[in-house]
Amino acid sequence: MAKTYEEINDKISKGKAVVLTAEEVSELAKTLSPKEIAQKVDVVTTATFGAMCSSGAFLNFGHPTPGIRMEKIELNGVRVCGGLAAVDTYVGATDCNPERPAYGGAHIIEELVAGKEIVLEAWGKGTDDYPRRHIKTLITKDSINEAYLYNPRNAYQNYNVAVNSTNEIKHTYMGTLLPQLRNAAYSTAGELSPLINDPECRTIGLGTRIFLCGTEGYVAWNGTQFHSTREVNEHGIPVTNARTLAVVGDLKQMSTDFLRAAYYEKYGVSLFVGLGIPIPVLDEDLAHRVSIRNEQIETTISDYGDGYKILGRTNYAALRSGEIEIQGRKVRTAPVSSLAKAREIADILKSWITNGKFTLSAPVRPMPTNTSVKPLTVRGFEDETGI
Amino acid sequence: MTQKMILNFPAGISGTPITYELIRVHDVKVNILKAEIQPGQIGSLLVELEGDQEKLEKAKQFLISNGVRVSPVSSKVSYDEKRCINCGNCVSACFSGALTIGAPDWKLHFNPEKCIACKLCLTACPQKLFRIEFSTIN
Ligand code: SF4
Ligand code: SF4
């Protein structure tokens, strides 16, 4: 018998919902059938805590007197978007001043969340209604109007394992890759990862209420580079980077426990984002999906030293064992996203739901199907790569 | 007397002829505690040098003049545990096995005894939480 969102929410508000984390349900699935799980369990919480470069925050500073049409804006010396009306901006996580590459948008966002003061400096040409040409002042998250995180591409459904076959260290967004396959870096939270537990996005769509960096947030749209037609394995899991989510939430309510700036050596700034998604166990099919185990989740090994050449396939049970085999060689593995934090998030979300504080929202529009990702081709101009 | 130190070899020079020369020309006993070297690449040796003080000093000078970075082993690596998010980036870089992460808790563990002071964790940590302090040896 299928359950409805209403029935589950009713149970939640009465404090009677049975909520498990995705790891707990995978454990339970060793002894119970999907049918039994569908009867017993109402909600499964999933989570991830990793660096997600495609993140950022919209801010509205409020109007000073006399007014200014901010056309060039800097926050703590970092140039941010000046293309949004008079006193709005978007701070991209990877925004930075090239002269100080280790500090950027993500750090500003973390400091805002922490309640710290940020230096705002802006310039305008001066207009009839906004005569001011310059302003320099201090702001905090409480002194400004809106501050919300809007991340165009988070929560990647699966991700490549990164290795490096060259003779030199490679500094990448997957961390330090040692020469000659001396390490393999993986970033997905395996059986706890949100889009792995609902691989076809049956319950995750526009408007899905989620945990975002310590507070509630929402799925705003399909993420950019949303790829719904990747090859899947026998368990229905895409074997490489596939779907993504655009998410939104109130920055003022967030916590630096679940949002952190990152700097990758010789690469750039990024933002660690903590994300948790509840999955309603509406029927047997979903019960089966959320029961997925690490050994059933496969991913692709990619050589970041050699044009992302594919070197094989592995699974998350092997990756977590600390060693995998690549082309007959034993290679040490390590994560580059935090499973400890992801577990914390899944537990918090579980307690919110169990305590009746957090109900589930059905998608107002499902995620797109039949999408793939286009490359960018150079046309109309000579390809001057500057490499 | 004996002195423990870490020798960091730049790319292009191999450790073998240098350690050979240490023994043959400089007459110090070289005990390699840990080696992480591949021909033509950056490598590290954790060594114990044994000899009288003068010979040790000359041996050190010889190493430095050959482009080897000599660090006294009392160099102490530490990190800010409070800010650590247990992401694993430092573990990924740490080939000596001093930094580990894994089941059941998936939290960072540091075994200073295995540290060869290669400093890779200093750059690998996305929050720059690592510090290295060197104590000076006269
Ligand atoms: S310096 Fe850091 S990376 Fe190098 S061995 Fe020590 S702990 Fe590991
Ligand atoms: S890289 Fe930094 S934040 Fe990540 S586990 Fe290591 S010390 Fe902690």
Q: Which domains can be identified in chain B, with CATH numbers?
A: 2-67 (3.30.70.260), 78-130 (3.30.70.20)
pLDDT digit string (tens) for chain B, length 138 residues: 767 788 888 776 666 677 788 888 888 888 787 777 666 567 788 787 888 888 888 888 888 888 888 887 777 899 999 999 999 999 999 999 999 999 999 999 999 989 888 889 999 999 999 998 766 454
Instruction: Tell which of B14, B92, B116, B127 to mutate to test the A interface (max A CBs under 10 Å).
Output: B92
ipTM computed for the complex: 0.94
DSSP A296: G
Of A182, A272, A340, the CB nearest to B106: A340
The full DSSP string for B67-89 is T-EEEETT-EEEE-TTT-----H
Pairing of strands A43-51, A19-21: parallel
Our mutation pick for probing the ligand 2 site, out of B80, B82, B86, B107, counting the most ligand atoms within 8 A of Cβ, is B86
Ligand 1 contact, B108 CB (< 6 A): no
The DSSP bridge pattern shows strands A43-51 and A268-280 to be: antiparallel
Beta bridge partners of A136: A121
Query: Residues A68, A130: contact at Cβ < 8 Å?
Result: yes
Atom of ligand 1 nearest to the CA of B114: 5
Distance from the CA of B92 to the center of ligand 2, in angstroms? Answer: 10
Q: Is the Cβ pair A334, B101 closer than 8 Å?
A: yes
Low-confidence ranges of chain A (pLDDT < 70): 1
What mean pLDDT, rounded, does chain A reach?
A: 97
pLDDT at A162: 98
Rounded to a whole number of angstroms, the distance from the CA of A116 to the nearest CA of chain B is 17
| Chain B positions in Cβ-Cβ contact with residue A165 (cut-off 8 Å) | none
B88 interfacial to chain A (CB closer than 8 Å): yes
Give pLDDT, residue A290. Answer: 98
Which two structure tokens, joined as six digits, stand for A136? 């320099």
3-state secondary structure of A300: strand
Using CA coordinates, name the residue in chain A closest to B104: A340
Interchain contact B93–A (C-beta under 8 A): yes
pLDDT tens-digit readout, A226-275: 999 999 999 999 999 999 999 999 999 999 999 999 999 999 999 999 99
Would you list which residues of chain A are within 8 Å, Cβ to Cβ, of chain B? 49-51, 102, 167-169, 171, 175-180, 182-183, 185, 260-265, 270, 272, 320, 322, 332, 334-341, 343
Instruction: Please state, in angstroms and rounded to a whole number, the distance separating the CA atoms of residues B68 and B43.
Output: 10
